[in-house]
């Protein structure tokens, strides 16, 4: 193995990386795709590369210097030096890490995302073999195929999928041939497919009802995806996508999209969990329009869903976000978009509408509250009602709704309150109907 010290290069030569295991098993095409994702770092002596128990999802290689493996008791259990056979392999690659790795000298390391490496290996080893020489007829087509798939797999939407899920995804995708000027999706219609551009370019526009004009939003090319927002939020399309050139699209049905992509990227939490995340430093992110935020969570920030793509770069990548809206639909769409950009996000399940307001009366308060009646009709407060005889057979008298436990399974606190209030009002009406007619005072006009 040739080390950096022998090469005396500041930039890592691809031949150094190509000798590493398992990168040496990749085809030239796959290796070129993945080599650009390596991060190279110079580390001083005495620094930890990783610690026992960590799950950093990195494959770390030693290119120059020497490192020590250290166990939980602080003892050195192994030494690896650049140029040795063990240095061709990822350092202590089990996850969680079984040992810590500390530099014994100044070192140069190279690392990349383990999931990306696993995906590339899976695709490379499960694909049909074709000639590496791209100069043969059809070589341009092969490069196009590699380009769109590489861009797709490098996006955060796909990098979080397990290799087996990516294989299923690729098997499920269907190809669609399109021509310049074709409208792929139209604003206002229901969403049915998620699309990936395999070849060609398209424009994204949004119609403005007040002017009748189409406002250009973006231009997409090979490897870009679109159509996810309507599927995630179960809403109508919010933009129109039109082909600028002839091309080919890969599409995924709504059912498959929700199962393969939405579940891994959209994580729901209840209000108690959401508040604990906020107490630990998380940030409430309200994705409603500014005018809708009268009941916003305390210390929340507001970025409407339509502006998420534009303003995402301004968010802190090291913070945990709890995304909320009225129902959770817009929150799910925002979470999907931010997850694609590698943000840690959670969606408030059921939205803000599911939270019982602070001033909502409890069932006891409702039970003791006076009930207003129409003029001339006596209420329960005017009459002495005998306690019910619970020893009577079922059906011989009306059940007392105050004592009866409501069917609370699956209901929110607010729904339970409403249920008990309705039961009390119904009970009131039934008792008043049982009173002797002569005992009800009436007024004559």
Q: Where are the domains of the chain?
A: 4-114, 142-261, 266-354, 370-382+397-436
- Place domain 4-114 in its CATH homologous superfamily: Jelly Rolls (2.60.120.10)
For the ranges 18-22, 49-53, 200-204, 210-214, which has the lowest average pLDDT?
Answer: 210-214
Helices (H), 162-227: 163-172
Q: Which is more confident, 334 or 234? A: 334
Residue 178 and residue 249 in contact, taking contact as beta carbons nearer than 8 Å: yes
pLDDT digits (tens, 9 = 90+) for 329-340: 788 888 888 887
pLDDT of residue 24 exceeding 80: yes
Residues 6+ apart with CB under 8 A from 255: none
pLDDT digits (tens, 9 = 90+) for 59-75: 999 999 999 999 989 99
Phi and psi, residue 340, nearest 5°: -60, -25
SS3 content of the chain, % helix, strand, coil (to 5): 35, 20, 40
Mean pLDDT of 89-115: 90
Q: Give 120-143 as a DSSP string.
A: HHHHHHHSPP--S-TTSTTHHHHH
**Across 29-43, 72-86, 115-129, 343-357, which has the greatest mean pLDDT?**
72-86
Q: Indicate the CATH number of 142-261 among 1.10.3720.10, 2.60.120.10, 3.50.50.60, 3.30.2310.20.
A: 2.60.120.10
Mean pLDDT of 295-314: 89
**E strand or H helix at 335, and its extent?**
helix 329-340
Give CA–CA dist 26/20, Å, rounded. 10
pLDDT of residue 128 exceeding 60: no
- Residue in 42, 46, 51 with CA at minimum distance from that of residue 12: 42
For the ranges 164-168, 345-349, 359-363, 408-412, which has the lowest average pLDDT?
Answer: 359-363
Q: Give 215-240 as a DSSP string.
A: EEEEEE-TT-EE-HHHHHHT-B--SE
pLDDT digits (tens, 9 = 90+) for 385-394: 333 344 444 3
- The CATH code that applies to domain 266-354 is 3.40.250.10
pLDDT digits (tens, 9 = 90+) for 256-281: 887 777 666 778 899 999 999 999 99
Two domains, one topology: 4-114 and 142-261? yes
Q: pLDDT over 70 for what percent of the chain? A: 65
Q: Please, what is the average pLDDT of the chain?
A: 75
On the 0-12 / 13-18 / 19+ scale of CB atoms within 10 A, 412 is: middle
pLDDT of residue 401 exceeding 50: no
- Beta-bridged to residue 204, according to DSSP, are 218, 241
b/e per residue, 182-201, with b = 16+ CB within 10 A?
bebbebeeebebbbbbbbbb
Q: What is the pLDDT of residue 5?
A: 39
Mean pLDDT of 211-226: 82
Q: What is the pLDDT of residue 271?
A: 94
Residues 6+ apart with CB under 8 A from 317: 342, 343
């Amino acid at each position: 193995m040739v080390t950096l010290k022998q090469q005396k290069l500041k930039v890592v030569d691809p031949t150094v990386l190509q000798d590493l295991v398992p990168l040496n098993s990749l085809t030239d095409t796959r290796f070129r795709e993945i080599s650009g994702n390596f991060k190279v770092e110079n580390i001083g002596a005495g620094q930890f590369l990783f610690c026992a128990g960590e799950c950093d999802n990195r494959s770390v290689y030693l290119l120059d210097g020497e490192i020590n493996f250290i166990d939980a008791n602080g003892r050195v259990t192994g030494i690896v030096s650049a140029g040795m056979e063990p240095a061709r392999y990822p350092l202590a690659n089990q996850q969680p890490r079984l040992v810590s790795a500390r530099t014994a000298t100044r070192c140069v390391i190279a690392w990349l995302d383990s999931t990306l490496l696993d995906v590339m290996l899976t695709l490379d080893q499960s694909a049909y073999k074709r000639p590496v020489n791209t100069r043969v007829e059809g070589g341009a087509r092969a490069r196009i195929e590699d380009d769109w798939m590489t861009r797709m797999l490098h996006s955060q939407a796909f990098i979080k999928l397990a290799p087996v899920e990516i294989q299923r995804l690729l098997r499920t995708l269907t190809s669609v041939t399109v021509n310049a000027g074709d409208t792929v999706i139209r604003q206002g219609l229901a969403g049915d497919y998620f699309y990936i551009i395999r070849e060609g370019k398209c424009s994204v526009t949004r119609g403005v009802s007040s002017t009748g004009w189409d406002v250009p939003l973006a231009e997409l090319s090979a490897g870009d995806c679109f159509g996810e927002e309507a599927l995630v939020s179960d809403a109508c399309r919010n933009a129109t996508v039109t082909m600028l050139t002839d091309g080919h699209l890969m599409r995924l049905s709504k059912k498959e999209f929700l199962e393969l992509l939405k579940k891994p990227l959209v994580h729901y939490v209840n209000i108690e969990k959401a508040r604990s995340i906020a107490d630990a430093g998380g940030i409430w992110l309200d994705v409603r329009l500014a005018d809708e935020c009268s009941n916003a969570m305390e210390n929340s920030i507001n970025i409407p869903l339509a502006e998420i793509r534009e303003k995402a770069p301004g968010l802190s990548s090291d913070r945990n976000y709890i995304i909320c809206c009225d129902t959770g639909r817009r929150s799910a769409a925002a979470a999907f978009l931010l997850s694609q950009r590698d943000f840690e996000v959670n969606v408030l399940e059921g939205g803000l509408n599911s939270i019982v307001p602070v001033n909502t009366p409890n069932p006891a308060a409702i039970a003791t509250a006076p009930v207003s009646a129409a003029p001339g009709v006596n209420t329960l407060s005017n009459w002495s009602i005998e306690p019910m005889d619970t020893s009577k057979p079922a059906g011989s008298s009306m059940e007392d709704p105050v004592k009866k436990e409501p069917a609370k399974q699956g209901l929110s606190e607010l729904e339970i309150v409403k249920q008990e209030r309705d039961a009390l009002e119904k009970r009131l009406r039934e008792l008043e109907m049982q009173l002797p007619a002569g005992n009800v005072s009436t007024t004559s006009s």
